[in-house]
Amino acid sequence: AAGVIQSPRHLIKEKRETATLKCYPIPRHDTVYWYQQGPGQDPQFLISFYEKMQSDKGSIPDRFSAQQFSDYHSELNMSSLELGDSALYFCASSLGGQGLYEQYFGPGTRLTVT
Amino acid sequence: GNSVTQMEGPVTLSEEAFLTINCTYTATGYPSLFWYVQYPGEGLQLLLKATKADDKGSNKGFEATYRKETTSFHLEKGSVQVSDSAVYFCALRWEWGGGSNYKLTFGKGTLLTVNP
């Protein structure tokens, strides 16, 4: 079965650079969630989209922005990168509406900021 | 706000031992509860879930029962294997207001190591 695809899987950037992370949800899934997992930490919710509209927002820095496109894939744009942004970034997808369906996670993108 | 508290690890067991990982939650209303597993270097996989009080989720020999009276969702397995070594996350999803505001709130995770 098709799973959530994230690219790139690994990314190394320097401080103050920008990064773009991509997420391709499971076919027919219309909802995408982004989570950030710092080293040894639990995943923290960043932002979510349903039918191409932002549906919820968590502890996402103002330096980050995200969107969901017409084909339901999503991109997380990160600017002015800081050392503390080094983390594993997960995307999850689900079928939206009434929360009846669970979230399926991608393998994550490991971002290292040097 | 909503929160999940898990027993701190790491937990080290011998193969075929009994496993319990405690999880309690704080939330208003009736959240859905989940256990996710993360194997080394991999993403999160849903292990089991329960959506209402007294529901029991089960998968691959793991079980957890949604106890509203104690706000708990403890993970258990009768006989662990080396391949169960991973980090286990308890999570809740609090449904409110309609739409798709269904983010997951995770506990800190518990590292389980099973030795042969």
DSSP conformational letter for B98: S
* Sign of torsion over alpha carbons B61, B66, B69, B75: positive
- Test A42 with B49 for CB contact under 8 angstroms: no
Token representation of residue A98:
């009434």
Inspect the interface and report whether the beta carbons of B99 and A102 lie closer than 8 Å. no
pLDDT of residue A96: 73
* pLDDT for B42: 83
What's the angle, vertex CA A15, arms to CA A14 and CA A16, rounded to 5?
115
Q: Return mean pLDDT, chain A.
A: 92
Joined together, the tokens standing for residue A103 give 């979230």
Residues paired with B114 in a beta bridge: B13
Q: Which of A46, A39, A30 is nearest to A97 (CA)?
A: A30
Q: Verify whether the Cβ–Cβ distance B108 to A106 is below 8 Å.
A: no
Q: Which residues of A touch B35 (CB under 8 A)?
A: none
Size of interface A-B (CB pairs under 8 A): 64
Q: Which range is least confidently modeled, A21-30, B54-63, B81-90, B97-106? A: B97-106
Query: Which residues in chain A have Cβ-Cβ distances shorter than 8 Å to B103?
Result: 33, 45, 48, 56, 58
Nearest CA in chain B to A52: B100
d(CA A46, CA A108): 14
Alpha-carbon distance A3 to nearest alpha carbon in chain B (angstroms): 11
A68-93: per-residue pLDDT in tens?
999 999 999 999 999 999 999 999 99
pLDDT one-digit tens code per residue, A94-109: 987 555 678 899 999 9
Chain A neighbors of B45, CB-CB under 8 A:
105
pLDDT for residue B98 is more than 80: no
Q: What is the mean pLDDT of chain B?
A: 91
pLDDT > 70? residue B67: yes
Is B101–A42 a contact, with Cβ atoms under 8 angstroms apart?
no
Buried b (16+ CB within 10 A) or exposed e, B51-73: beeeeebeeeebbbbbbeeebbb
Q: Is B97 a residue whose pLDDT tops 60?
A: no
